[in-house]
Structure 1
Amino acid sequence: MSAHPSPRRPALRGALAATLAAVLGGTLVSCSDADPAQVSADQGAQDASVEERLADLAQRAADEGSLGVVVRVARGTDPPVEIAAQTAWAGDDHRLAVGDQFRVASNTKTMVATLVLRQVAQDRLGLDDPVEEWLPGTVPGGEDITVRLLLNHTSGLGDYLLTPEFLPSLTGQEQRAWTPGELLAVTPPPAPPGEQYSYSNANYAALGLILEEAAGEDLADLIEREITGPLGMADSFLSSDAGFDPAKPHAIGYEPDSERLRALLAPIADLPEGVGFVGPERPDGNIDTSGIDPSWAGAAGGMVSTAQDWQRFQTALMSGDLLPEAQMEQMLTTVAAPEEGGGYGLGLMRVDSPCGTVWGHTGGHPGYSSEIYTDEGGSRSVAVLTTTNFNVKEPEAAAANGALVDAAVCAVLGEPLPEASPAG
C-alpha cells in the first residue's frame, strides 16, 4: 500500500529548519591529550542525552496522535537506541515493545525492487523490457511502459487505492481477496509514460506479477528464499491475510473514526457518508483496525516485519550484500521526487535532510506507518514506526511525528539534534 494515500507530509522537514542544538558538541581535544576514561564518560553522557531527548519526543508524538511509537537507532558497533512509547489508553490494549511486529507496508517495494534487480543481474529480466512482453493485455498502455518505469513510478499509471471499487476493501467494509490483475483492472487510465514521477501502487502490483513470471516462483517463497531466510529475518514475511505470527507479539493499529477521516481526506477525496474504517471503537474517536485483511497489498505493501529485521535488510542492501555493483548503481539512480524529500530510485527513496542524505522508504497501511532509513554505506540505520497512518496527518500530530523523525535521523547520522520548539 502507498505510504501516503493523501499527499505525503514533507519528509524530514520542519524542526530541522530550526537552529541545531549542540547536544553532541563540546570542546574538542586531541587524541593524544584526552583522558580515555573521560572521553568514554563524556560519550556515554552524550548518548544518554540523545536517548532521553528521543524518548521525550516519542512520548509527545504518541500523546499528540501517533498513539504508539517505536524508535530504533542503530549506529554501527554502538548499542542501538531502542524506545517504545504509547498514549495511556493504548497501553490497556497492548503494551507496545520495540520487537513487536508491524505492517511495514510500502517498505515492501524496496524488497520487491531488490528481487527484480537480482533477476536483471541474472539476465532473466531487462529493465527496458516492455511490460506488455511479460503481462500481455494486463496493464493499460503496457506496450509503452518498461520495467524501469514501474520501479521508479514514472509509468504514468494511476493508483487504485481511493477508487470507488477498492475503497471498501481499504477500510475493511468489504472483505475481498483482490488479485493483482483485478487491482490493475480498476486502476485509473494512465498518463503518458516516462514524463514525471507519480507514486502508484499499481506499478508494484504489476512488478509482483512480472517477478513471479521471471523467477518461476511465488513471491512469498521468493522473498523467503532469497532475502528473509539468508538474512535471518525470523519476524518477517509477506502477509496473505489479516493474521500476524500468532507466536509473536504485534502492535495494534488504529485509525480515526469516519467523521474525523472524512475531514482529513476532504482536500483530496469526497468520501461518501458512512465510509470509515471497520473495527472495535476505542477512545478519542479511534478505531482498532488490526483486523483489516491486507492480502490485497501484496508486492506493493504486504510485508510484516520488525524495526530490527527491516534495518537488517536495508543495511545488507546498502552495504552491497544483496546486489552486484551495476544493479546497485541503477537502484540509486533517482528521478526528482520533491514530495518524498529528495528523489526516487528503483524502489528506494533518497531523502536529503539538513543532517545529511539517507536512503530507504516509507510505509502506510490502516493502523500502521513507518519511516526506515540508512546512510549510503549501510553502516547506520533508523526506524520510526507508528500505530496509525491517518492520525498523523492531523496538524498537531504531524508536527510531533515530524519532529521525532527529524531528531532520529540526526541522531543516526551523528549530528546535533534539533532544538525543541518553544511549545515543547
Structure 2
Amino acid sequence: PGPAADARLARLAQKAADTGSLGVIVRVDSGDGKPVEIAEQAAWTKDDHTLAAGDQFRVGSNTKTVTATLILQQVTENRISLADTVEEWLPGLVEGGEDITVRMLLNHTSGLSDFLLTPEFLPSLTGQEKRTWTPEELLAITPEQDPPAEPGETYAYSNANYEALGLILEKATGSSLAELIRKKITGPLKMRDSYLATDADRDTGRQHVTGYEPNAGRLKKILSGTVDLPAGVGFAGPERPGDNVDTSAIDPSWSWAAGGMVSTAADWQTFLTALNSGELLAEAQLRQMRTTVDAPEEGGGYGLGLIRADTTCGTVWGHTGGLPGYSSEIYTDATGTRSVAVFSSTNFGIKDKAAATANKALVEAATCQMLGKPQPSDSPAG
C-alpha cells in the first residue's frame, strides 16, 4: 500500500458514488498513525452538502457492538449473567421470555422476529408517520419468526433483541443508555463527535452527512426480487435528482440500543480498535464476544454484537449498519491494530445491482489495504 493504492481507492470511491452510493467516506488506518481519508460524492449532491471525511454519520446497527460491550462489562462486574433469562429482567415484556437468555439476544438466536416491516412500524421506518416509539412498544409488536424457531436454535438477525438488551442495561445499572454510553465508551475514549440520537436534530457543530433513498417507484424496482412492496410505499422527504429522496429528516431514535448512534469514521474506529485490542473488556468477555454462530448473510459468523467477516484478504471483526439514507461497514484486524470504515449515504440505493457491485469492490479494496495486502486486481477501478 502506498500513493498508487490510495489513488486507486479514491477512484473506486468515486465510481461507487457515481454508480449509486451517492456519498462515500472511506478511512483506512493501518496503525501507523497516518490514516488514509477519502470523501467522494456524486456531483449533484454537492448542492445539499459538501462531504468531508470527518462528517457525522448515522452508524445504525454498529451501535449493537456498543450495546453488547456495555452488557459484557456488566457481566464482568457480576451484575448480569449471559445465562439470565429475559423474563427475569423484563417480566411479562417478551413472549416466551423465560426461555430466552441474554446470550441469545446478543447473538440473535432468540427466536424473535423483527418489528421493522410490520404494518404498525413501516410508516415510521419510512418517515411517513412521525411517531416516537418506546422500546417496550416495539417489543409488543415484534412477531415470532416464520417459520417459528425455538430459542437458541437458529441465527436470525432482529433489532428487537437489542431493544430488549437496552432495557436490561438500564435496569441493571439504574442509568439511561445515553448516560452509560457517555460514561463507559465515548467519554473515556474521547469520542467527541459520537452520541445516541434522541431525534433527527443534529446536536453538535460537526457537519452531518445528508442521506438519500430511491423514491417509491425506483425502490419497488430495486427490491422486487426480495420484498414485494405495496405500491406507493416510499421514504418521506424532498425529491432529489436521479429519482432519489433526501431522508435526513427521518427520526432514527426508535433504533436506540439497536442502531441509534451518530459518529464519525475516526471516532468509530477508535472504539472498535479499543474493543478488539482488549482495552474495554476482560479477556474472558472478549473471547465470548468473538464466539460466533454461522451467519452467512453477514459474510461469516455473528458473535455477541460482533460480526466475523471472512474477506478475500483475511478475517476481520466489526459490524455493519443501515438506516434510511445511511449504510456503513467498519472492521478491525484480529488484534485491533488496523481498522477500516466505509460509509455510503444511501442504504437501499446500494441494493441496486450495479451500485452493489461498485460498493462491494470498494469495501474489499479498502479492507485489503487495511490488512496490508494488495487490493484485488479484478475489482473494476473505472
Settle same-fold status: TM greater than 0.5: yes
Q: How far does the alpha carbon of each residue in 1:222-271 deviate from its partner, in whole angstroms, 9 at most, with x for none?
A: 10011000100000000000012341111000000001112223334332
1:253 matched residue in structure 2: 211
Shift of 1:159: 0.4
Cα pair 2:12 2:381 within 8 Å, conserved: no
Question: 1:374-413 maps to which residues of 2 (within 5 A)?
Answer: 374-413=332-371
Q: How far does the alpha carbon of each residue in 1:328-362 deviate from its partner, in whole angstroms, 9 at most, with x for none?
A: 11001001111111100000000111201100000
Residue 28 of structure 2, aligned match among 70, 73, 95: 73
Quick one: structure 1 residues 166 and 52, their matched pair in 2 at CA, closer, same or farther if it must change by over 3 Å?
same
Distance 1:420 1:61 in 2: 15
Deviates more, 1:190-199 or 1:230-239: 190-199
1:105 matched residue in structure 2: 60
Residue 301 of structure 1, aligned match among 249, 259, 264: 259
Distance 1:391 1:273 in 2: 18
Is 1:116 paired with 2:71? yes
Distance 1:216 1:291 in 2: 31
Question: 1:322-361 maps to which residues of 2 (within 5 A)?
Answer: 322-361=280-319
TM-score (norm. length: structure 2)? 0.97
Question: 1:133-152 maps to which residues of 2 (within 5 A)?
Answer: 133-152=88-107
2:84 matched residue in structure 1: 129
2:372 matched residue in structure 1: 414
Question: 1:179-198 maps to which residues of 2 (within 5 A)?
Answer: 179-190=134-145, 191-198=149-156
Secondary structure of 1:357's partner?
A: strand
Distance 1:166 1:266 in 2: 21
Cα pair 2:100 2:151 within 8 Å, conserved: yes
Quick one: structure 1 residues 76 and 422, their matched pair in 2 at CA, closer, same or farther if it must change by over 3 Å?
closer
Distance 1:348 1:423 in 2: 30
Letter in 2 for 1:338: P
Letter in 1 for 2:17: A
Q: Which runs of 5 or more structure 1 residues have no equivalent in the other structure?
A: 1-45
Shift of 1:421: 4.6
Q: How far does the alpha carbon of each residue in 1:150-201 deviate from its partner, in whole angstroms, 9 at most, with x for none?
A: 0000111000011111000000000110001111111112421111111000
Secondary structure of 2:98's partner?
A: coil
2:188 matched residue in structure 1: 230
Quick one: structure 1 residues 301 and 422, their matched pair in 2 at CA, closer, same or farther if it must change by over 3 Å?
closer
Distance 1:75 1:64 in 2: 28
2:42 matched residue in structure 1: 87
Cα pair 1:244 1:304 within 8 Å, conserved: no
Letter in 2 for 1:253: G
Distance 2:204 2:110 in 1: 39
Residue 115 of structure 2, aligned match among 157, 160, 163: 160
Cα pair 1:334 1:344 within 8 Å, conserved: yes
Distance 2:362 2:120 in 1: 36
Q: Percent sequence identity over matched residues? A: 67
Cα pair 1:335 1:343 within 8 Å, conserved: yes
Is 1:63 paired with 2:12? no
1:172 matched residue in structure 2: 127
Question: 1:251-330 maps to which residues of 2 (within 5 A)?
Answer: 251-330=209-288
Distance 1:302 1:107 in 2: 9
Distance 1:420 1:86 in 2: 23
Letter in 2 for 1:114: T
2:3 matched residue in structure 1: 48
Q: RMSD over aligned Cα, in angstroms?
A: 1.1
Quick one: structure 1 residues 193 and 63, their matched pair in 2 at CA, closer, same or farther if it must change by over 3 Å?
same
Deviates more, 1:313-322 or 1:75-84: 75-84
Q: Which runs of 5 or more structure 2 residues have no equivalent in the other structure?
A: none
Quick one: structure 1 residues 272 and 317, their matched pair in 2 at CA, closer, same or farther if it must change by over 3 Å?
same
Q: Give the paired residue count.
A: 379
Q: How far does the alpha carbon of each residue in 1:28-75 deviate from its partner, in whole angstroms, 9 at most, with x for none?
A: xxxxxxxxxxxxxxxxxx510110010000000000000000000001
Distance 2:312 2:281 in 1: 29
Secondary structure of 1:226's partner?
A: helix
Letter in 2 for 1:373: Y
Letter in 1 for 2:9: L
1:11 matched residue in structure 2: none
Cα pair 1:76 1:379 within 8 Å, conserved: yes
